[in-house]
Amino acid sequence: MTPAVRCSGVRHAFGETVAVDGLDLEIEPGEVFGLLGPNGAGKTTTIRMITTLLPVPSGTIEVLGRDVARQRTAVRRLIGYVPQQLSADGTLTGRENVALFARLYDLPRRTRAAQVTSVLEAVDLADVADRQAKTYSGGMVRRLELAQALVSAPRVLILDEPTVGLDPVAREGVWDRIEAVRSATGMTVLVTTHSMQEADEHCERVALMHRGRVRTVGSPAELKSALGPGATLDDVFRHHTGDDLAGDLENGGMRDVRATRRTARRVG
Ligand SMILES: Nc1ncnc2c1ncn2[C@@H]1O[C@H](COP(=O)(O)OP(=O)(O)OP(=O)(O)O)[C@@H](O)[C@H]1O
C-alpha cells in the first residue's frame, strides 16, 4: 500500500542550524500518527516541508505517492493543514471563515455552501456559524480552524499542536471531532503534540524526534513495553532524549504561556 507520508533521508538547515538531519518516516493511510519531541527537535520544520511550505533541500518526501518538491499542487490538493498560528479572522463569522477557504481551495461553486455547512456541523459549530469568530472560545476557534482545513475533504490532515493552550474539556472536544471525521472518511491524521497523555490516548503510532531525527517509532503500547513494565510515555520520551525533558519542560512552560496567549485567546 502507498504510504500516506514517506520521508527518506530528509535534511533541512537554516544557516548553521540543522533542523532536520536525515529523517526517515513512514505513515500509513488512515492512521492517527503523532510526531513528538522536545522544543527544537525539528517537528514544525518537518511538517512545513510535508505541506510544501518549505523546500526539501535534500532527501525526498512523498504524500500518497506524490513528490512534494515536484508535484506541489497535487500534494496541496491532498492535504489539510492546521498551523500553530491563528488562521481564523475574528471579524468574519465562522461560516465566512470556512467559505473563504472553500474559495481558496477552488471548490465547485454549486456545492460550496453545502460543503461549508457540512464541515461546520462536523466540528459542532453549526449553531454558532453565523456569529463573528471573535465571540468564540479558544476551543471553538480551534474547531473552526479544523473546519477550514477539512473543507477541501483532505486525504491527509496535518495539525501542528492543535490543542496547546486549551483546557481539558476543549482538548477533548477537538480530538472528538478529529476522530469522528477520521472514522467517517478514513483520512490520515498527522499531529505534533507536547502532551504525552494526548499521544497515548489518541495516536495509534508515534515517532519520537530528537535533534532532527526519528529516535524511535511504534504504538504507544509497544514503546512503553519495550522500556519495561510500568513505563509511561514520559519515560519513553526521557529515555530517548536524555535529560532534555527537564530543559524542555522549562522551555515548554514559557512556550506554553506564549502559545496559550497566541492560540487560546479570542481572535480579535
Ligand atoms: N526560520 C528559521 N530560521 C532559523 N532557524 C530556525 C527556523 N525555524 C526553525 N529553526 C530552528 O530549527 C530547529 C528546529 O525547529 P522546529 O521549529 O522545527 O522544532 P520543533 O520540534 O517544531 O520545536 P517546537 O516544539 O518548539 O515547535 C530549532 O533549532 C529552531 O531554532
Domains of the chain in start order, with CATH, are: 31-42+78-264 (3.40.50.300)
Query: How far from each other are the two terminal CA atoms of the chain, in whole angstroms?
Result: 45
Q: Whose CA is nearest to atom 12 of ligand 1?
A: 19
Residue 125's Cβ-count burial label (10 Å; 0-12, 13-18, 19+) is buried
Q: Ligand 1, closest atom to CA 42?
A: 18
Q: Ligand 1, closest atom to CA 15?
A: 4
Count of all residues that appear for the chain in the document: 268
Mutating to test ligand 1, I would choose from 7, 20, 43, 159 the residue with most ligand atoms within 8 A of its C-beta, which is 43
Reading the block at residue 157, the C-alpha cell is: 490532515
- DSSP of 91-160: TSBHHHHHHHHHHHTT--HHHHHHHHHHHHHHTT-GGGTTSBGGGS-HHHHHHHHHHHHHTT--SEEEEE
Run means of pLDDT, 10 residues per run, the chain, 268 residues: 96 96 96 94 96 96 97 95 90 97 92 96 96 95 95 96 90 93 96 93 96 95 93 91 53 42 49
Q: Whose CA is nearest to atom 8 of ligand 1?
A: 45
Reading the block at residue 258, the C-alpha cell is: 506564549
What distance in angstroms lies between residue 102's CA and the mean position of ligand 1's atoms? 30
Q: How many helices (H) does the chain have, and how many strands (E)? A: 10, 10
Instruction: Show the 3-state SS of 19-30.
Output: EEEEEEEEECCC
What distance in angstroms lies between residue 224's CA and the mean position of ligand 1's atoms? 27
Mutating to test ligand 1, I would choose from 7, 44, 159 the residue with most ligand atoms within 8 A of its C-beta, which is 44
Q: How far apart are CA 52 and CA 83, in angstroms?
A: 13
Q: Ligand 1, closest atom to CA 194?
A: 25
Q: Whose CA is nearest to atom 7 of ligand 1?
A: 14
The complex's ipTM? 0.96
pLDDT at 243: 53
Mutating to test ligand 1, I would choose from 7, 45, 244, 249 the residue with most ligand atoms within 8 A of its C-beta, which is 45
What distance in angstroms lies between residue 46's CA and the mean position of ligand 1's atoms? 10
Q: Within 6 Å (CB) of ligand 1, which residues are found?
A: 14, 17, 19, 37, 39-45
pLDDT at 261: 35
pTM of the model: 0.90
